Amino acid sequence: MDISIKTLGALKKSGYQSRSIKTELRENLIQNIKDGKASFTGIHGYDETVIPQLERAILSEHNINLLGLRGQAKTRLARLMVQLLDEYIPAIDGSEINDDPLWPISNFAKEQVASLGDETPIKWIHREQRFYEKLATPDVTISDLIGDIDPIKAATLKLSYADERVIHFGMIPRANRSIFVINELPDLQSRIQVALFNILEEGDIQIRGFQVRLPLDLQFVFTANPEDYTNRGSIVTPLKDRIGSQILTHYPKSIEVAKTITAQEAKLQKNRICDIHVPELAKDLVEQIGFEARESEYVDSKSGISARMSITAYENLLSTAEHRCLASGADKTSIRYADILGMIPSIIGKVELVYEGEQEGAAFVAEQLIGNASKALFDTYFPKIKKLKHENDKDPYDGVLQWFFEESSFELYDDGSEEAYGQALNSIGALDELIDTYMPGVEAGDKLFVKEFILWALSAYKKLNKKRIVKGFEFKDSYGAYLSNL
């Protein structure tokens, strides 16, 4: 479309045809599908579930409700719908509600066309300006969303309150010909929801006695959290009936998808003072903590575990390693298993605890989640550790445990140099045998992390005793630690 066109007459001569926003979304989606072009880029794990349902809803020209727990990309999906809009659309210049030049609906636009005709000035609206978003809170009023009488406008224009021109339009009329998103819909008071379903179905707006017939052209997208249906409110039945499609979102179903999301969303500073190597197992562990949290008896599963937990935890993990570089003056380092503890502040701020979790404390729950994640990953690579075994059974961990039985103590220091860290772990030859047998494909740069990971997993299974010392951690044979305590 030629956006240099400035008048209604020139727009008519160009052959411009008006279409509703739902038709616009539908036809542009159809073209994308024919061209093999993805319409919702940057969304992972929804290719076979949510996105096909969302595309079918758009093809059906439905208003949409995205229902899911927090951190499931509901608002991101709504914002990506903007890319299905035309790049520019014309509107009558000066209109508060983006009047279509060929189909004006407001008094202002109708008067402009009646008095100026083909000389009516028009403006062009970019698709990025056609997205409106409102968080539903209990204090949202009908005036905010729909409008109210403006006494200042009445006084300035010397108009009676009986004159329709004294109306100040709210967010919804101003979003005419746009996508309008209401987040956390159940939090909206019932009487406000009732006002909405008139707009969805009849286009009938009533403001302080004014029966204003405005056939608004809107694509509504609502988001809601299942928890809200019981805790804070619900969607009134008449409004739910007018929402064409309700689509259920979900969390990533695999670690690989979760890692892709974290890698995409994490804010990784380009000006870090050292080069940080992140072993693949460390990335897996970050995501596994989220999976464990969603199953934990201490965490409220109805509240959900946002993908933001893994994202911020990963950012903190890198910053923990960078902090060590700052203290030691090193120019490069690799993530160590102990750095995982640096993620605890990101974990405790993202989980809602049940009563038992509150009693134990957030820090305890976070450490337990880390321990459970370590066990889960450990069991995927190494033989399961048995609590009891027969006397003649060969235990693959006997070599490691024997080493600790013969040594008095083993320490890993928080601020230890890369060289000292490597020498300490490499001194346990039995760890190399375990890795060569059960993780033969591990990269050389990841081996130290895997070795430390094995020690933490053995301590989680009570095969080794781990104790926090002043500047690090001490590992001991469990029997030797018991005697020391005596």
pLDDT digits (tens, 9 = 90+) for 190-208: 888 887 877 777 666 666 6
Mean pLDDT, residues 389-410: 80
- Residue 258 pLDDT greater than 90, yes or no: yes
pLDDT digits (tens, 9 = 90+) for 222-252: 999 886 544 456 788 888 888 999 999 999 9
Asked whether the beta carbons of 475 and 464 are under 8 A apart, the reply is yes
Structure confidence at residue 327 as a pLDDT band (50, 70, 90): confident
Every domain of the chain and the residues it spans = 8-248, 251-381, 384-486
Taking the C-alpha atoms of residue 137 and residue 27, their distance in angstroms, rounded to an integer, is 34
- Residue 210 pLDDT greater than 70, yes or no: no
pLDDT digits (tens, 9 = 90+) for 133-174: 999 888 888 888 877 767 666 667 666 655 666 677 889 888
Per-residue pLDDT at 233: 62
Angle at 184 (CA atoms; ends 71, 237), nearest 5 degrees? 130
Positive or negative CA dihedral for 369, 371, 372, 373? positive
Pair type for strands 204-207 and 210-213: antiparallel
| CATH code, residues 8-248 | 3.40.50.300
Q: Class assignment of domain 251-381?
A: mainly alpha
Q: Which fold has domain 384-486?
A: Arc Repressor Mutant, subunit A (1.10.10)
Per-residue pLDDT at 230: 44
Mean pLDDT, residues 383-409: 79
What the block records as the tokens of 349 is 């701020």
